[in-house]
Structure 1
Amino acid sequence: MQTILILGSGKSSVYLINYLLDTADAKKRRIILADLSLEIATQKLRNHKSGKAIWIDLDDVENRKAIIKNSDVVISMLPAFLHPIIAKDCLELGKHFFSASYESEEMREMKSEIEEKNLLFLNECGLDPGLDHMSAMKIIHCEKENGNKITAFRSFTGGLLAPESEDNPWKYKFTWNPRNVVLAGQGTSRYIQNGSYKYVPYHMLYRRLEKISFEKVGDFDGYPNRDSLSYRKIYGLDDIRTLLRGTLRRAGFCQSWDVFVQLGITDDSFKMQLPSGFTHKMFFNSFLPYHETKSVVEKLRELLPWVNTEIVEKIEWLGMFSNIELPKTSGSPASILEEILKEKWKLGPQDKDMIVMQHLFEIETTDGKKEMISSLVCKGENHEYTAMAKTVGLPLAIAVDLFLEGEINVRGLHVPVLPEIYNPILDALRKEGVEFEEKVRAL
């Protein structure tokens, strides 16, 4: 009997849990779902006879290790900062570890010991990172095997709303962790374009946009995401002249979101202590200059002259000019903004989200130059069975299943850029309706 331990039963876990439960009886597996909320974990298991919900106290080392000790494979669906803690437990107890989050420096420090113990620690096996790596590497390896040279690679991903659910001016609602959305892009993004290194600080990020188009769902704005330069080595493209990874939003979103960035309302570095009864308007106004008679909108336009009527309407729709009391008055500006947005950008029961991903390659062949565009569009079913949960959870669930079946035999610390990892996962994803469409044209 193989035991799979899933830590965390949040929004992105539903497809992961269901996929593993569906074959648990036939494959003689037990699925243990551990969460701070025993009630939520129990609901997610749907009374399946091969599933067991348990409560876990992550701060209780003995409790945590006792639960991990009784498993064969551990899947962490916890917040990213907890992964190294769980990974260290797995290393100590000799358990294989899987996550959808970025491989951290703390995880890399465990590399030699992971190898010594003949364990597999697979990170970045979700959507982005994850599905982006796998789909891109399949093309990169194929082109190299054919003797072709990739000269430019740009990749964009967005977690958005399906067009039929775009019922607000922002054409956006939360489909994943709201805090991560509010803090997205902070730091300096880095990439290379035509051999030139480019650095985009946070305050300029939402102005450096590129139009990305999908045949069936329209146009989007793409902006640079984090450190693209490090992926030259990961993808084996050390001498590539253009490499950019980016995030997608509907056209118009970024220009409006930039208002919050420029004013400092997405700042998470200090704590505000506001009086009780403080309103949305007062909160927004606290980031504008003082004037005895001018309105909030007048001051906003004087400070940021590029703010147009469309942007004002978006901000007004969020209630930022209203006399509604704030949902919280203590915390960083970003945390207060997050609480405001949680209600306005909440997925309704019948809302459908959408994942869009596109890779754009420029390739030199013996016959000349070509462009290849590989696109994915995946729509959710409703607010629970979302495209985000599907594309994050299924790659991870499939990886664990294939590993336990002996179809993935690698050991050590990995992200899914090896053919023996990504090929069987992509094959299984196609059967689940997650598939890329590729188009090629001569340049």
Structure 2
Amino acid sequence: MRRILVLGSGFVATALVKHFCRRPDQSLTIASNILEDAKQLAAIESKQCTAVFLDVSDEPALAKLIREHDIVVSLIPWTLHPIVARLCVQEKVNMVTASYITPTLQEFDLPAKEANIAIFNEIGFDPGLDHLGAMSIIDDVLDHGGKVESFVSMAAGLPVVEHADNPLGYKFSWSPKGVLLAAVSPAQYLKDGEVVKVEGGRTYYGAKDMPADMFRGLRLEGVPNRDSIQFKEPYKLHDAHTILRGTMRFPGFATMIVCFSEMNLLSQDPCEELSKKGLKWNEFVASQMGCAVGDVKNVLKSRLEKVWGDDKRRLREAFRGLEWLEIMGDTIVPADKKQPIDALCAVLEEKLAFNDGERDLLLLHHEFIVDFDGRKERRTSKIIVSGDPYGMDGSISAMSRLVGVPCAVATEAVLDGAITRKGVFRPTEKEVYLPLLERLKETGISMIEDTEEL
């Protein structure tokens, strides 16, 4: 019996657990700091699954669990992965995550190799399936003597159009705070040979309309996602003059993120004001903006006009959204929050939750401009997947499926010996991504590819 330890019981764990339980030779321990959620996941197949309480900061308890298993799948926040990685190295147990490799995690590369274990990262949807789709085309171009001159990759996790029924056009299918942190992160990318840098908190100020033919019938806006240039080496994009990885949202999302930023609600600084009992939103917003309660609307309007000029449509959109969220009036700010971003996050999590019967939508679109000794092609690779309706027995969201299943498939590939690489890595090498593409195809997950001559 192969023993798999799953850390975390959040948004994407359902599909992962269901996939693992298809094989009777696998047993799962689902460890979470919310035991009830872990028990619900374990009930998917009670003969194979056990739920346990775990506080990851309790390192002796975590080390004991790791020691008792053959591999660890970490679905907890990325900031905690270094703790897990250190203990996996100590106990000589393989580890798989869907999160980005951070500099701190990269430091475990040599220790992991010395312990003869894999610390396999970035194998979910984005990052994950995006790597597989990109590298299969890039390597094909390079293997046939071509050059990749431009690479633009855009991804989105959204509600389906009919359920994008709020001012942000958005609902949470993964960590709410993760969405906000991504929105305020700095970004940089390569455009026509020039490095373009966007400072933290300003990414959505430059949201641009996506081409109408990218996903027929969908109007989308896009922004750069963190550091695109870091993928020049792992993606072998040595000849590319343009490298951009970005995020897409329906119109309205960027408007509201800019609004929150101008109201100083995305701050991660500790805020004493939040410790006041019965604090009203209009009081808190005024405090964050440095003005009187009665002046908030005019001050905010003035700030937004500096961003958008006299764009009355955007201004109406912004204030209508704030009214819908009820953060300009005398409603009470959620208690026990330490940072403004956490207070805002609590409101958004309640207001932007999926209701029963609603579905999510995942989109991924790669565009490559390639050159074969003067003959140019435009190649595309994309994924369009909608989830099951929320609230149905056995339903799986698109986000859970496209994060959980690739992560589970990668875990089994390590256990089966199909992937033998050691150290800290992502799926950008043939020895890693080719076995995964074949296995994912068997689950019904694959890319739609197209080529046209230019």
> Structure 2 length normalisation: TM-score?
0.91
Please point out which of 344, 355, 368 is paired with 1:348.
355
Structure 2: how far apart are the matches of 1:98 and 1:338? Answer: 28
Partner of 2:280: 279
Cα separation, 2, equivalents of 1:337 and 1:376: 31
- 1:53 pairs with 2:41: no
Report sequence identity in percent: 30
Instruction: State the partner residue of 1:362.
Output: 369
Instruction: Report how far residue 289 of structure 1 moved.
Output: 5.7
Match of 2:311 in 1: none
C-alpha distance in 1, partners of 2:29/2:69? 8
User: Which among 403, 413, 422 is matched to residue 433 of structure 2?
Assistant: 422
Q: CA deviation at 1:268?
A: 0.7
- 2: CA distance, partners of 1:330 / 1:12: 25
Contact 1:189 1:200 in 2 (8 A): yes
CA distance in 1, matches of 2:65, 2:217: 45
The range that moved more, 141-150 or 411-420, is 411-420
User: Which residue of the partner structure matches residue 256 of structure 2?
Assistant: 256
Equivalent position SS for 1:247 = strand
Quote the Cα distance in structure 1 between the aligned partners of 2:60 and 2:283: 48
Q: In the TM superposition, what is the alpha-carbon distance from 1:216 to its structure 2 partner?
A: 4.2
Q: Distance in 1 between matches of 2:167 and 2:289?
A: 23
Determine if contact 1:276/1:329 at 8 Å carries over to the other structure: no
Output one character per residue of 1:297-348: Cα deviation in whole Å (capped at 9) or x when no partner. Answer: 3332223213521222122211123322222275221111111212111111
Kept in 1, the 8 Å contact 2:278–2:332? The answer is yes
1:20-419 alignment runs, 5 A limit:
20-23=20-23, 25=24, 28-46=25-43, 47-212=45-210, 213=212, 214-274=214-274, 275-288=276-289, 290=291, 296-305=296-305, 306=308, 307-328=314-335, 330-366=337-373, 368-383=375-390, 385-419=396-430
Shift of 1:87: 1.0
Distance 1:211 1:427, change over 3 A: farther
Matching residue of 1:17 = 17
- The Cα of 1:438 is off from its aligned counterpart by 2.0
1:150-191: CA deviations, max 9, x gaps?
000011111111112112222111111111122223342111
| Count of residue pairs brought into register by the alignment | 439
Cα displacement (A) at 1:208: 2.1
Q: Which runs of 5+ in 2 are unaligned?
A: 309-313
Aligned AA (2:279): F
Q: Show structure 1 runs of 5+ residues with no match.
A: none
SS in 2 for 1:140: helix
What amino acid does structure 2 have at the position aligned with 1:31?
A: L
Alpha-carbon separation, structure 2, partners of 1:421 and 1:335: 38
Q: For the residues of structure 2 that align with 1:335 and 1:360, how far apart are their CA atoms?
A: 36
- Using the alignment, how far apart are the partners of 1:430 and 1:99 within structure 2? 21
| Contact kept in structure 1, 2:255 and 2:317, CA below 8 Å | no
> Structure 1, residues 41-66: CA drift from partner, whole Å, max 9, x if none?
22212243122222223233322211
Secondary structure of the structure 1 residue equivalent to 2:119: strand
Distance in 1 between residues matched to 2:106 and 2:300, nearest whole Å? 46
The answer (yes or no) to whether the contact 1:185–1:226 under 8 Å persists in 2 is: no
SS of equivalent to 1:74: strand
When the two structures are superposed, what TM-score results if normalisation uses the length of structure 1? Answer: 0.93
CA offset digits 1:181-227 (Å, max 9, x no partner): 22223342111111111111134311222332433451211101111
Q: Distance in 1 between matches of 2:417 and 2:290?
A: 64
Distance 1:57 1:322, change over 3 A: closer
Whole-Å separation in 2 of the counterparts to 1:138 and 1:292: 56
Matched residue type, 1:244 = L
Distance in 1 (alpha carbons) for counterparts of 2:31 and 2:88 = 15
Q: Which moved more, 1:249-258 or 1:8-17?
A: 249-258
Separation in 2, partners of 1:292, 1:124: 45
CA distance in 2, matches of 1:232, 1:315: 40
Following the alignment from structure 2 to structure 1, what is the Cα–Cα distance between the partners of residues 89 and 384? 37
Matched letter for residue 282 of structure 1: E
- Matched residue of 2:122: which SS? coil
| Counterpart secondary structure, 1:11 | coil
Alpha-carbon separation, structure 1, partners of 2:421 and 2:337: 48
